[in-house]
Chains A and B, each alone.
Chain A
Amino acid sequence: MDDSSIVGLSANREYAKWAHRETNPGEISGKPEALDDILVLDLSHANFAGLFASSLLAEMGAEVIRVEPPGGDLARKMTPYGIMIGDAGMGYIVEGRNKHHVTLDIAKEEGRKLLLGLARKADVLLHTFKPGYLESLGMGYGDLRESNPGLIFTAIHTYGQFGADSEKGSNQPDYDIVDQARGVIMSVTGEPDLDPAVPDACKKPLKQGNWMGWYAGGAWAAFGIQTAMFHRRKTGKGQFIDASPPEGLMAISNYVMQYFHMSGRQMPRAGNYDYAVFPYTYVKCRDGFTFISGFSDPNWSALCEIMNRPDLRERFPSIRERLTPENQPTIQHEIERFTVRYTSDEIQQMITAYGKKPDKKGTVVTGRLETSGDVLQREHWDVRKTFLRVNDPDYGEVLVQNSTFKSMSRTPGRVKWVCRPIGADNETVYRKHLGLDRQQLKELKENGIV
C-alpha cells in the first residue's frame, strides 16, 4: 500500500504509519482472539437485538451456538421486500457471522434435555422469548443456575423481566419499532415541530432508519455480558442480566430527561436543527445534502466569512440568538442560499482551503450526506476493510459489514464466515458438546427434535 493511502490527511504521518502496522487488517488471522474461552448459547427468537449481541461476542472469538427451531428462526425472513438468498434474508446473513447453527425443538421434552446438556457447559445463555416462557419449560435462570452457578443468563425483551409494565406486556413479542417507540429518542426525532414550513402531517415521531432499537439493545446486552464475564473471572459468580432495549435508548437520549427534571419542560422535535448546538445541520447543496457546522462564536465567524455574509454574524452574534427555534429556520435558509450553488465536494474544498489560512477565524466542519451506494465506493472504507466481500459456498457473492473491533492491535475482531444454513452444524455441535453419534442424531431428526 502506498504511503498516501495510509497517512491520508494526518497531522502526524509517523503515527499513522505506526498505527497502520499495529492494526494492519492483513495480519488479523494470525492474531489471538479475546473471548475464545467462552461458550455462548444464542436462543434469539425473531430478534436482532439477541443476534447482534451474539455477533459481537462471536467477532471477539466466543464460540456461539445458534439454536433455531427446526425449520429455522423467523429472523431469517426479516428481509427487505421479502428478498431471500437461499434460506436466509439479508438481515440474517449479516448477523449469522461466526455462529454454529443448530436446530432444536425445545417445546419437546427430548429437546429440552439436549438444551439442558448444552446449558450446563455454557458460559452465557442468551434469549429473547416472552418473559416467563423459558421458566414455564423449567429452564429459567433459577433452574439452570443449579447445575451451572457460573452461568450468565441474559434475557432481552421490550418490557424487561420484572416491573409493572413487564407483567402487563409479557404476552407481547419484542420488535424494533416498539423498542424505538418506548425508548424516548423517537419522540424527539422527526421533522421540526416549530418550523412553519413543515406540513402538519409530517410533525410526528420518527424512528431511526435502521433497527436502532435492536442494535443498541444488543450492544447493551453484550456490554452487560462482558462486564459479567469480567466479574466472573474474579469471583466465579454468574448472574441474571435483564436487557430491555428501550432502556438502552432512553439511557442515551441526550439531555431530554435532565432538562425535564431541571426545568419541568420537554424538548420539541428539532428535525435537522439542534437547540443546543447550531449551526450543526444538514443543508441542501447542488448534488444532495451536506452537513455544515459553525457553532461557537469563532466557528460561526469562520462560516460567515466563508459565505461572505458578515451581516449574518452581526444579526446572530451569540449562541443566545443562534439557539432559538424561531431563528434556526432563518439561519438554515440563509446558509442554504449559499450552499445550493455548490456541490458537496466544492464545499468541502472551500472549507479545507479556508482552514489553511493563517488568519482563519475558526473551524468549520462539513461532510457529505452519503447514500448507501456512495459509501460502498469510498476508498477509505476499502483501505480500512470496512466491508467484507466473500463468495460463500451456501449464499454465493455477498457483502457484509466487517467487525468494527478489527483494529485492536492484539486481539482484533474478525468475521470467519458469514452465515450457515438451517441446522448445518447439528452434527459437529451435538457430537462435540454432547457426544451424540450419527445414529442418535438420526433418531432425533426422525422425532422432529432437530
Chain B
Amino acid sequence: MGTGKSRPDFTGELFDKGKLFDKPEPLKGVRVLEVCSVVLGPATCDYLAEFGAEVIKFEGRKGDQMRYVTPYAWFWKGMSPGLEIENHNKYWVGMHVGNPKAKALFLELVKKSDVVVDNLTPGRMAEWGLDYRNLREANPKIVQLHVSGYGSWGPWTGRTSYDAVAQSMGALSSITGFEDRGPIKSGVWIADWITGLMCANAILSALNYRERTGEGQFIDYLQVENVIRLLDWTWLYSFKTGEDRKRSGNRDLAICPSDLFDCLDGRVALAAFSEAEFRGLCEAMGRMDLEETYRDPLKRLRDENARELLDRIAVWARGRRVEEVEALGCRHGFAASRVLEAKDVYHSDHFRERGAIQEYEDPLYGTMVQQCYPPVMSETPGRVKWSCRPLGFDNRYVLGKTLGLPEEEVKRLEDEGVVFRWNPDVPSQCPPPGWDGKSGVNIP
C-alpha cells in the first residue's frame, strides 16, 4: 500500500473519530429554509443539516405534526421522540410564512439563502405568493424543491399522500410479506425516509450545478414515483410476463440462496450466489452433492430448484447456533449474519467507533445516543450537534443574526403575533421541565 501502513492502521487514522470536530463540514455555508412538517420534508433537510447545512425550520402555531406523534402517546422530558428523529442541528422559528407580514421577512431570508424545501400541498406556496417564481425574483440563484405524493401536476396532483400511502400506491407493500399471507407495510416510515434521501440527492445535484453555472432551479419530486423507482426488477418483470410480482417472505426471487433461516438460538440471514460462495456454503454444510447439482446460479433460481435447495439449508441451519453459521460464513466466504435489533446497535463498539452511532451532550435534553447519517467520510464526516427544539426557540437568533433585526424589533413581531414561541399549555412545544431559560440558547 502506497502509505507504507497496514490497512487497518491506514483507515483507522483516516477516519479517526477523535478528530470529528476538527474536520470541515461539506455543506457549511449552505442555508436551507425548511417549510415542512411531518417526516419526509424535515428528513430531507436533516440529511443536509448533519453534513453542515444551516437549516432554518419554520413552524405554524400548532407546530410540526410530529410534536404529537410518539410511540404509545409517550413523551420524554416533554419532547416527542417522533419529532426528534428527523430534526437535528436545525434553527427553529415560529412563523407562519403565509401570513402577509411574515412573508416579507421570509423573502428577506430567501435573499440570503440557497435552498427552500416545502412538502405542503402542491400549490399552497403559490397561494401565499411564495412559489418558485416569487422566490426566484428575490434570489435568482435559489434552488427550490417541492415534494408531494404525486407532484405538482398530473391527474392525481392534489391527492394526499402519507408514508403508508406511498408504500401501497407504489406497490412496495404488495411485494412485502410472506407468500401465503397478506401484504405488510414496513416497520418504519420507509417511504418518507428514502424519498427524503433522494430529495437530498436532487438538491445536491442542483447545488453542484449551481457551483458550475450560478443557476438555480425548481425541483418537483414525487414520493410515490420514488417508491416505484426503488423496486428493482418489479416493473420489467410485470411488463414482460404480464404477472404481478408476488410476495416471497425473506426469500430473494433473484438470488439463491438468499433467505432468513431458523437456528437453534435465533435466526440467520444467509446468501451465497456466486459459484465460489456456493461452494463455500456446501463445504460448510458438508453437502458437496448439492454443489454438484446446483453449481450454476441460474439453475438455482428456477422455482422448484430454489425451493428444494432452501429446504436443505433450512434443515441444516436448524441444528446450528447463529454464531456458528456466522463464523462459517467468514471462513468459507458466504454472507451470514444475525438480525440486529435496536439494543444490539446501541451497544455496539463497531458502530460507535465508526461514528454511525454518536453520543453527545444536548444542552436541553442531556446525554443523547443516536444514529448519525451515513456514509462515513474521511475529510468531511457528518455529525450530530444538537437535538430538536421547542417551538420558536431560535426566533431571536435567526432574525437577529441573519436579518440583522434588533431585539426590540423581534419582540414587536412577537407581540404582533407574526413570530411566536411555544404555547405553555402544550408540553410537547415547550422546553423540558426545569429548563433554566438559558441552556442551548443561541445568541445572535
Whether A219 pairs with B330 at a CB distance below 8 angstroms is no
Among B95-103, B168-176, B411-419, B433-441, the stretch that binds chain A is B168-176
Smallest CB-CB separation from A398: which chain B residue?
B236
Known contacts A8-B158, A181-B269, A289-B182, A163 near B353 by CB under 8 Å: yes
Interface presence of A314 (CB below 8 A)? no
Given contacts A82-B301, A405-B205, A411-B209, contact A237 B379 (CB under 8 A): yes
In the complex the two chains form, is B81's CB within 8 Å of A255's CB?
A: yes
Q: Does chain A have a CB within 8 A of B104?
A: no
Closest-by-CB residue of A relative to B202 is: A405
Closest to B161 in A: A367
CB distance from B34 to the nearest CB of A (A): 18
A383:B154 contact, CB within 8 angstroms: yes
**Nearest Cβ in chain A — how far from B67, in angstroms?**
12
Segment of B216-224, B284-292, B311-319, B390-398 in the binding face = B216-224
Q: Please report the C-alpha to C-alpha distance between residue A191 and residue B104 in the assembled complex, in whole angstroms.
A: 50
User: Once the chains bind, are B341 and A266 in contact (CB under 8 Å)?
Assistant: yes
A115 at the interface (CB under 8 A from B): no
Q: Are A252 and B5 interface neighbours, CB within 8 A?
A: no
Contacts of B215 in A (CB 8 A): 410
The answer to whether B208 and A188 touch across the interface, beta carbons within 8 angstroms, is no
Size bracket, chain B contacts: 35 or more
B403 interface residue (CB < 8 Å to A): no
Query: Which chain B residue lies CB-closest to A229?
Result: B208
Pick from B153, B188, B221 the residue with the most CB of A within 10 Å.
B153
Is there contact, CB below 8 Å, between B204 and A230? yes
Query: Does B346 sit within 8 A of A, measured CB to CB?
Result: yes
Q: Identify which of A106-114, A369-377, A424-432, A438-446 touches chain B.
A: A369-377
Docked-complex contact B346 and A374, CB < 8 angstroms? no
What is the number of contacts between chain A and chain B, taking CB atoms within 8 Å?
625
* A230–B126 CA distance with the chains assembled, in angstroms: 30
Please, how many angstroms separate the alpha-carbon atoms of A138 and B7 in the complex? 11
Task: Check if B335 sits within 8 Å of A187, measured CB to CB.
Answer: no
Question: What 0/1 pattern do residues 158 to 172 of B give for CB contact below 8 A with A?
Answer: 111110110011111
In the bound complex, residues from chain A placing their C-beta under 8 Å from that of B164 are 274, 280-282, 291, 293, 367
CA distance A244 to B69 in the complex (A): 30
Contact B221 A404 (CB under 8 A): yes
Which residues of A in the span 170-220 have a Cβ within 8 Å of any Cβ on B? 171-178, 180-191, 202, 204-212, 215-216, 219-220
Q: Which residues of B lie under 8 Å from residue A93 when comparing CB positions?
A: 236
User: Per a CB cutoff under 8 Å, which of B154, B204, B267, B351 touches A227?
Assistant: B204
Tell me the smallest distance from the CB of B86 to a CB of chain A, in Å: 9
- Tell me whether A143 and B2 are in contact (CB under 8 A): yes
Determine if A308 is an interface residue (Cβ-Cβ < 8 Å). Answer: no
Judged by a CB distance under 8 angstroms, whether B193 is at the interface is: yes
Q: Assuming A164-B350, A408-B219, is B232 touching A8 (CB within 8 A)?
A: no
Taking a contact as CB atoms under 8 Å apart, the answer to whether B154 and A6 are in contact is yes
Shortest Cβ gap from B304 to chain A (Å): 10
* Chain B residue, CB-CB nearest to A156: B375
Pairwise interchain contact A177-B73, C-beta atoms closer than 8 A: no
Interface residues of B in 55-84 (CB under 8 A from A): 68-74, 76, 81-82, 84
8 residue pairs, one from A and one from B, having the closest CB atoms: A12-B123, A209-B175, A188-B187, A9-B158, A82-B301, A19-B152, A181-B269, A410-B217
Could you show 14 A-B contacts with beta carbons less than 8 Å apart? A17-B153, A19-B152, A22-B132, A22-B218, A78-B273, A81-B303, A85-B240, A91-B254, A94-B235, A181-B337, A182-B337, A212-B194, A289-B183, A373-B238
Taking A181-B260, A227-B377, A400-B236 as given, write out 6 further A-B residue pairs in contact, using a Cβ cutoff of 8 Å, ordered by the A residue number: A12-B126, A131-B7, A145-B2, A172-B329, A295-B69, A324-B72
